[in-house]
Amino acid sequence: MNSVPHILTVLDDLLRDASRDDRGALWQLAEQGRELDANLVRLPPGGEVGAHQEDVLDVLLVVVAGHGRIDAGSGSLELAPTTVAWLPRTSRRSLAAGPDGLTCLTVHRRRPGLTIKSSAAPALSYEGGEAPCLLDRVCPACGRLSQDPEPVFCSRCGERFAEG
């Protein structure tokens, strides 16, 4: 792979074009061959991501706009523009937006793609492909089917859905 640096997006442009009530991923890193995932996530005023625990990945959260808080076992952490928070794997936390909403950039190691292994040939594996039926809308933690066609977080338990 022969890669060269390039501009992916301009956050000010994305924020200017987003409505006050937009929620979810306003932008996602989608470059082929990447080892990182990054998302610009918007919670509308008063929006929340329920308590959840990420067991595999550390997440870096950078507040780009708005205010909010992270509630964790050790208390609340106040979030404001330019705040950088580390969410270590295995930590239990919830996220709440303030009255103006909250927009943050999250960055973490890329999750491995879905791998399907044949029982007849266990050494073979196939990665990727389209999600069968509505499986991409089923919460990996609690099994709830999301009504949102492109869910980011489960409305029942707060678990992050797999990123496309």
Report residue 15: phi and psi, to 5°: -70, -40
pLDDT reported for residue 38: 92
Give the tokens for residue 129.
């492909």
Predicted confidence band at 24 (pLDDT cuts at 50, 70, 90)? confident
pLDDT attached to residue 2? 59
User: Distances in Å between the alpha carbon of 52 and those of 70, 87, 91, 128?
Assistant: 11, 11, 8, 26
- Whether residue 98 has pLDDT greater than 80: yes
**What average pLDDT does the segment 128-151 reach?**
63
Handedness of CA 131, 137, 141, 143 (dihedral sign): negative
**Percentage, residues of the chain above pLDDT 70:** 78
pLDDT over threshold 50, residue 125: no
Q: Looking at residue 164, what is its pLDDT?
A: 52
Look at residue 18 in the predicted model and tell me its pLDDT. Answer: 86
- Domains belonging to the chain, first-starting first, are 11-113 (2.60.120.10)
Averaged pLDDT score across all residues of the chain: 81
The confidence band for 76, taking pLDDT boundaries of 50, 70 and 90, is very high
Q: What does the pLDDT read at residue 103?
A: 95
Contact yes or no for 23/104 (Cβ under 8 A): no
Q: What is the pLDDT of residue 82?
A: 97
Give, in order, the Cα–Cα distances in Å from 50 to each of 70, 85, 96, 105, 126. 10, 17, 8, 18, 33
pLDDT at position 123 is 46
